[in-house]
């Protein structure tokens, strides 16, 4: 029961990132770039402190960091934040989650990893669901928001592929978060937001970075060794669902029937895919 509760808590924390980001931007409490940069800073500090407490040194974090992973993480953070200027929380989480799975599937194929027929079928269904979701026949979200969230999915997919074989995912995440701060701050300087910083906006960004990202990942990596790969993969299916429910209940978002159908198609395809084959490292990854 304790393991189940911890897993539910982690999935809720991951979903909360979408809710916090959307809440901050829809209230005009902070700019999108500033939110992403502060989230990275808060997350890096939290994760580095955890590694420091665990190892009595932060050196493992720097040794495990990877430049390509840092680039992917930066793209994810900025794309994710800017996408929520126009996307609802649940819809954005669904595009992100489904997109990451498609990127991981394509990446595995390009790297020559053996793919079971079930995984191929699941990936195809998930991709079809996403294509329908963003088409005029589906929900047809704002093109800019959908494009930015797709870029975020590409970034997180790259990040996940680079970290799939990490010997110490917690230290690697801490180092990557820290090294992603400078490029994120540079992006903010290049594209300064027109929304002034407020105490509420900064607080939401810090909460997203320190708690729902930093502590969320730390808990996830503590839980992972006790979960079967398929179980962990299926557990992540709940993240977009939780985000959609939270968007409706907490942010007053309207959930369209077409979005529900698209979500079922995407998550169904992902569910088939994640239970259709073993991951190269045997370790599932966090997708949110």
Q: Which residues of the chain have pLDDT under 70?
A: 111-115, 164, 228-234, 274, 276-288
Q: What is the CA radius of gyration of the chain?
A: 18
Tokens in use for 80? 């994710």
Of 94, 93, 97, which is closest to residue 19 (Cα–Cα)?
Answer: 93
What does pTM read for this prediction? 0.87
Beta carbons of 201 and 37 less than 8 angstroms apart: no
- The pLDDT of residue 279 is 47
- The pLDDT of residue 106 is 79
Please give the Cα distance from 68 to 154 (Å, whole number).
Answer: 12
Of 236, 234, 263, which is closest to residue 247 (Cα–Cα)?
Answer: 263
- The pLDDT of residue 29 is 94
User: Which residues are CB-neighbours of 175 under 8 A, at least 6 positions away?
Assistant: 60, 61, 62, 63, 64, 65
């Amino acid at each position: 029961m304790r393991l189940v509760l911890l897993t539910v808590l982690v999935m809720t924390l991951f979903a909360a990132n979408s809710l916090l980001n959307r809440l901050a931007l829809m209230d005009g409490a902070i700019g999108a770039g500033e939110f992403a940069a502060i989230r990275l800073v808060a997350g890096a500090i939290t994760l580095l402190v955890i590694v420091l407490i665990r190892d009595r040194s932060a050196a493992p974090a720097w040794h495990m960091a990877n430049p390509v992973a840092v680039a992917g993480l930066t793209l994810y953070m900025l794309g994710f934040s800017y996408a929520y200027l126009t996307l609802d929380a649940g819809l954005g989480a669904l595009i992100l989650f489904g997109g990451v799975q498609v990127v991981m599937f394509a990446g595995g194929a390009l790297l020559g990893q053996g793919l079971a027929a079930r995984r191929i079928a699941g990936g195809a269904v998930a991709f079809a669901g996403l294509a329908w979701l963003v088409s005029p026949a589906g929900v047809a979200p704002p093109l800019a928001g959908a494009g930015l969230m797709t870029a975020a999915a590409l970034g997180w997919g790259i990040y996940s592929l680079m970290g799939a074989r990490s010997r110490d995912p917690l230290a690697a995440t801490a180092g990557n978060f820290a090294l992603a701060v400078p490029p994120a701050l540079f992006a903010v300087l290049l594209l300064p937001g027109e929304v002034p910083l407020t105490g509420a906006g900064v607080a939401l960004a810090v909460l997203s970075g320190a708690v729902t990202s930093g502590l969320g990942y730390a808990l996830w990596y503590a839980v992972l060794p006790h979960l079967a790969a398929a179980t962990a993969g299926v557990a992540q299916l709940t993240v977009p669902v939780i985000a959609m429910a939270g968007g409706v209940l907490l942010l007053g978002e309207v959930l369209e029937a077409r979005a529900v159908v698209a979500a079922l198609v995407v998550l169904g395809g992902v569910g088939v895919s994640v239970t259709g084959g073993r991951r190269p490292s045997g370790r599932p990854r966090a997708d949110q």
